[in-house]
Amino acid sequence: MIHRPQGTQSMILIEPDAAFRRQLTQFFASSYTVNSFASGQDALLTTDVPDIVVAEVALKGHSIFEFLYEYRTYADCQNVPVVLYTSVQIKDEILSSRSWKQLNVHYAYKPDISVSQLNQKLAVLLAGNDGSTENNSATN
């Protein structure tokens, strides 16, 4: 279990690009205790139940969707907000699908939303008002 100061929120960050992962970790470190991983498989090994998960869709090995399906089977993780911050453009049909809604994830397209804007969206999510559209898109 990761030790964190009382009142500090925690984040699991899953980003396969090592340099970008370091940048994101440094950026979010002022607001969160960040536990970062290159893969969903590695993230599943942690015993820390975070306040939020931020993940890239394009992963090596198991897909992010395999991670999500397994992650959601753990009782403590079923209601943890998950934001897919990705360079993969996901079609509206998928974002509005029943399967997508069952995963209870939010989507943020990297070319359209800066890390700073993402941080604002995460704060809104954690405050209990998801601020998203009906398809759980965090790009609005």
Q: Profile the chain (140 residues) by mean pLDDT over runs of 10 residues.
A: 60 96 95 94 91 92 86 90 92 84 87 95 83 45
Q: Where are the domains of the chain?
A: 9-126
**DSSP symbol at 4:** -
CA distance 80 to 86: 18
| pLDDT of the residue at 134 | 39
The pLDDT tens digits of the residues spanning 64-94 come to: 888 998 998 999 998 899 999 999 888 888 8
| pLDDT of the residue at 1 | 38
| pLDDT of the residue at 137 | 53
* C-alpha distance across the termini of the chain, in Å: 35
CATH of domain 9-126: 3.40.50.2300
| pLDDT of the residue at 47 | 86
